[in-house]
């Protein structure tokens, strides 16, 4: 089940909210959320609910044993982490490494055909952060299995993040409340995220796939390559940030407050800044649990960065193109640390922005094509007019037909919404007729967006989130 489906919007979510608010105690509300979260996860792959339950049981029992007086805490930590990583590695990476080994030795290696459990990377990382935080003593062990299960399985953030730290919501698992203002903020944030997904991401994806289809690369023009990856860059940003917006919005409705996961990354002026703004929960996870423990900026800086970015690439997918994509960003960030950042700080801002856009688009080429030879072909196409010239009729038609979508999407990448909200808040504080008109206009706009999303989703039966496969 996905957030951007009519089943979720008009049956699952309203029914969950109704039963949730009928219950008065936090314990009963937790029960409602657990039941609905398990139904939500089981909707597409029922068998993998048991894998998630087993993972929660492992980490719950393991941390309790780790906290017993006289226990060998470091040994328990290592054992729990190894089992977690083995589970993740078996389901996500065993096929990749078996295939690579088979190619290397020239023999087939029989492997069970295991489907990738949706969201396993997200909830496994939450479990890993929980276990490490318990070991470090930065949070208290959760003795209730049901509360730990709720932390992991809560449907707003279960299958595509953000990666939520246990300490951020530990108190809310015990006691929380929701007022009208939180509901209003949550609903607004959810509708904005839904609009980014249904109106922008899905349509940008249609254009990107039409241009970048691997079967048509021979006739791809340089303009087509650049335009295709511009639309893909917009698609993946709106797709993933939309999910985070909806997760944060639903969290607010339920009394939880999740941290932001995106902060307008495409306005960045360097690769380093881009990754401080993109998928923030993943970046902080690797910083706090891998980079700093290995020495951070104190020793072996570039080796630490190399390991972190190789793992970042591998986290995104079980294919070597993702590893190369991660290493690509490592090279950029290492060069910026060595000397380039000083140059970027000295040049006019628009040049630094242009640099980031270009290197970002180059990176998405590696991300998009699992076949490395396809990526190499596109890199060549970007700078070689060949016999087709710099553009082609199909690219021209797609650009003209989707020019408004492109302009709207580019504007939506800019921090215009916070500026509009700031103006609206000042008007609201003054009160009077103008404030009433502004409030009416805002709510009418939100209703219109919800209706528009409903219409667009009704005609689009397949719109999965890109990050579901990671």
CA-to-CA distance for 54 and 92, rounded, in angstroms? 17
366 near 321, Cβ under 8 Å? yes
Is it true that the peptide bond before 274 is cis, omega within 30 degrees of 0?
A: no
Catalytic sites, residue numbers: 316
- Could you tell me the sign of the dihedral formed by the alpha carbons of 121, 127, 130, 136, in that order? negative
Residue ranges in the chain whose pLDDT is less than 70: 111-113, 385-388, 460-470
What single string gives the DSSP state of each residue in 229-268? HHHHHHHHHHHHHHHHHHHHHHHHHHT--PPP----GGG-
pLDDT of residue 346: 94
| pTM exceeds 0.95 | no
pLDDT tens-digit map of 108-120:
777 666 777 888 8
Kindly report the CA angle at 436 between 433 and 438, in degrees rounded to 5? Answer: 110
Average pLDDT, the chain: 90
pLDDT of residue 112: 63
DSSP letter for 206, please: H
């Amino acid at each position: 089940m996905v957030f951007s489906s009519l089943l979720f919007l008009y049956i699952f979510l309203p029914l969950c909210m109704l039963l949730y608010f009928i219950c008065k105690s936090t314990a009963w509300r937790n029960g409602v959320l657990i039941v609905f979260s398990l139904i939500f996860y089981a909707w597409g792959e029922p068998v993998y609910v048991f894998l998630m339950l087993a993972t929660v049981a492992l980490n719950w029992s393991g941390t309790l044993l780790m906290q017993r007086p006289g226990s060998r805490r470091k040994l328990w930590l290592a054992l729990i982490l190894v089992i977690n990583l083995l589970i993740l590695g078996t389901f996500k990476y065993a096929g990749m490494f078996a295939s690579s080994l088979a190619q290397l030795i020239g023999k087939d290696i029989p492997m069970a055909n295991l489907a990738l459990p949706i969201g396993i990377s997200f909830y496994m990382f939450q479990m890993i952060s929980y276990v490490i935080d318990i070991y470090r003593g930065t949070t208290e062990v959760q003795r209730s299995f049901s509360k730990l299960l709720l932390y992991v399985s809560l449907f707003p953030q279960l299958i595509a993040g953000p990666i939520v730290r246990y300490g951020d919501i530990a108190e809310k698992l015990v006691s929380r409340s929701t007022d009208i203002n939180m509901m209003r903020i949550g609903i607004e944030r959810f509708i904005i995220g839904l609009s980014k997904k249904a109106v922008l991401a899905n349509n940008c994806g249609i254009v990107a796939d039409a241009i970048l289809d691997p079967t048509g690369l021979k006739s791809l023009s340089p303009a087509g390559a650049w335009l295709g990856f511009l639309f893909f860059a917009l698609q993946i940003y709106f797709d993933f940030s939309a999910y985070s917006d909806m997760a944060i919005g639903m969290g607010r409705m339920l009394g939880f407050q999740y941290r932001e996961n995106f902060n307008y990354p495409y306005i960045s002026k360097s690769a380093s800044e881009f990754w401080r703004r993109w998928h923030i929960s993943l970046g902080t996870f690797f910083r706090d649990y891998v980079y700093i423990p290995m020495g951070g900026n104190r020793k072996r800086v570039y080796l630490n960065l190399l390991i972190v970015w190789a793992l970042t690439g591998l986290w995104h997918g079980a294919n070597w193109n993702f590893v190369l994509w991660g290493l690509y960003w490592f090279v950029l960030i290492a060069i910026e640390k060595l000397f380039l950042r000083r140059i970027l700080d000295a040049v006019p801002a628009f040049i630094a922005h242009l640099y980031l856009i270009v290197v970002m688009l180059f990176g998405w080429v590696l991300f998009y094509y699992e076949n490395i030879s396809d990526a190499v072909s596109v890199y060549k196409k970007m700078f070689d007019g060949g016999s087709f010239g710099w553009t082609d009729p199909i690219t021209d038609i797609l650009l003209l037909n989707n020019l408004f979508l492109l302009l709207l999407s580019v504007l939506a990448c800019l921090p215009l919404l916070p500026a509009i909200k700031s103006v609206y808040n000042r008007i609201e504080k003054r009160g009077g007729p103008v404030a009433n008109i502004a409030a009416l206009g805002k709510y009418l706009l939100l209703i219109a967006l919800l209706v528009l999303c409903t219409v667009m989703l009704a005609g689009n039966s397949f719109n999965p989130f890109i990050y579901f496969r990671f």
